[in-house]
Amino acid sequence: MNFGAVLRVAVTLLATVAAVFVGWRLWLYYTVSPWTRDARVLAQVVEIAPDVSGLVDTVNVSDNQFVQKGDVLFVIDQQRFTAALRQAQADVELKQQALRYARDTAARDANLERADAAAIAEQTVEFTSSTAGEARAELGAAQAALTTAQINLERSSVRAPADGYITNFNVDVGDYAQVGKGVLALVDSHSFYVYAYFMETKLPSIRDGDTARVELMAGGVVIDGVVEGLSRAIAIPGEGLLATVNPNFDWIRLAQRIPVRIKLGPLPPGVRLVSGLSATVVVQPKGE
């Protein structure tokens, strides 16, 4: 065999080995290495709905505005609630007077019975004692109604339950707000996290507490993160509470994608997170 033939055989063998090595590395990278381009920035979104009904009297915020916990977002007309509060206060005063009179009467009859049992009928003593008990119960009911009126008046001012951003703003002065019907949403600014969907073949490399590198598609911003945990349930056919994802084809069985929650670290200056942004996540297992 001449030198040229040997060289051709050697080059062929080297190319084959290199191709096998590259193929093996690519297979590890795409099926085992803990990274994914299928990730989303998410946040807790609070639906703001009034606890009392009425006409909207004042609106203090606008769409996309940042608010702090406790800020008044809008106010429902308070005239009816103020009148109900005054009525409840008057009813409590009335019931207090009635209880005071009933107690005095019951005490007087009881003292008279102890002094001279023949001077007053036993039924009268029992009746005045029972009347005092009823008056006490009626006062308790009136005080509960007063508390409810105070709560209704307080909750006619709808406040932000957390720091965050107003979105889906859909309320204006003169609108009729109904109990439990959402009129706007608030994105909790302290609740942003990432859900990264990893193929199940990559899960053995991922542990809680592993560091993660989150790269946003918007601007290529990189944010440090930590693995908080993975979802303990995914959809399978026949379980209606979860969205169904069927990984099977007639000729191949695809790996399931499992949500892994990533806690975000400090944001780089000027970065604005939006729930729904796409991202790439690379997990750095401990010890590597």
Domain range list for the chain: 33-43+191-284, 78-154
Q: Give the pTM.
A: 0.74
CB contact set of 215 (below 8 Å; sequence gap of 6+): 221, 222, 223, 279, 280, 281, 282
Q: What value, to the nearest 5°, has the Cα angle with vertex 65 and ends 59 and 69?
A: 80
Residue-by-residue pLDDT tens, the chain, 288 positions: 566 665 665 556 666 655 554 554 545 455 557 888 889 999 999 999 999 999 999 999 999 999 999 999 999 999 999 999 999 999 999 999 988 988 888 787 777 667 777 677 777 777 788 888 888 999 999 999 999 999 999 999 999 999 999 998 888 999 999 999 989 999 999 999 999 998 888 888 889 999 999 999 988 889 999 999 988 877 665 555 655 555 555 555 567 888 999 999 999 998 999 999 999 999 988 755
Class of domain 33-43+191-284: mainly beta
Which pLDDT score, from 0 to 100, does residue 247 have?
57
Which pLDDT score, from 0 to 100, does residue 227 have?
93
- 261-278 residue pLDDT tens: 999 999 999 899 999 999
Report CA torsion sign: 138, 52, 47, 60.
negative
- Residue located via tokens 């409810």: 148
Instruction: Work out the number of other CB atoms within 10 angstroms of the CB of residue 91.
Output: 18
**Helix, strand or coil for residue 97?**
helix
Return d(Cα 91, Cα 96) in angstroms, integer. 9
Return d(Cα 126, Cα 74) in angstroms, integer. 54
**Helix, strand or coil for residue 44?**
coil
The answer to whether 247 and 282 have CB atoms below 8 angstroms apart is no
The answer to whether 127 and 94 have CB atoms below 8 angstroms apart is no
For the record, the structure tokens of 118 come out as: 């023949």
Which pLDDT score, from 0 to 100, does residue 128 have?
81
Which pLDDT score, from 0 to 100, does residue 279 have?
93
Which pLDDT score, from 0 to 100, does residue 234 have?
75
